[in-house]
Structure 1
């Protein structure tokens, strides 16, 4: 029996450290029980993963949820599921392709015209480690979707967000930004050999820099921006 004590102790220590590190990095579970009835939340990439669970949680709290997704079939399915599990009928699927400036402008125009307010914009959608694809407008896919698309969307909805104050913009980033470098001379990898990992890290660093600058510009105002 004693021969198992050391391996079990090591495993327990490693598992415990992993949990502590995870909680430190993620901030742990949100303890707030606040409701957001009467608030409108726009979430990009909300048909799967973190975006979907965020939409579900905020729908549970009573918010009006607008899910902006590229694949409408999956988005409609996710919205229907969330409406059913939360019993919140105000969960809507809307088409938004962040790889298309035209689609982003159409989505923003629809929100600005049809929604009375936007209290929270959650820029969640993203692509990772894809090949050297280009967006509809010729940008590197990861930089275009992860940063430029959200940059444009945020600015197109900014006045609506200000009108709905106090409001908030939340940008999802990644620890990958730590090793990211912005190559202002070749953002789209047209001069150097394409590196999918570095392209992703560059896009995540751009998210962080954009968030910090937007927070600085909004400082003291009624709208705020955070990671």
Structure 2
């Protein structure tokens, strides 16, 4: 649909509704009793069509504000809504909740050497790898630039370490056109914490991993362990 339609959708939908309802009113008034079933059929079809149209608009708007257009992953804006939900769920279930921050090593070199379009292809390929490894309940986010974030519900320290190592190896030995590796900072919480504090721990772990390159580092709230 055209951009102008989305911008004017509230006006268009409200204005077009009036003449349609007026027409249906007169149709109902002039119909013989034996034909009035047609009126209700038309009204039903109108209701179905308007519902489909509104549903399509809502779906497009949702994807527009929550998805990264390049990779199809959730964006950072959606991340904080999801993390709050998972923290609340953790409080109820008493099950651990893990997080991962992923950064591509030397990604700027790919952009500078081969161009940003080739860099975009690398991002898309990594997103594909992440999607194949994630469970249905996991949340994968394009954090920004060449960074990604993951929320892994019901995953303890050993589980997130195994997951991160699997991701690291898959990227290192992938069939990507360019040789790429990633650094991953991970952490796990077993009780309620502020989302910003959690991500700060994962970010510090990622920073340590980037000092090594092609590494996974586990972060705890008092120190960092590899």
Fold agreement, TM-score > 0.5: no
- Structure whose alpha-carbon radius of gyration is higher: 2
Q: Normalized against structure 1, the TM-score is what?
A: 0.29
Tell me: higher relative CO, structure 1 or 2? Use CA pairs within 8 A at least 6 residues apart. 2
| TM-score scaled by length of structure 2 | 0.29
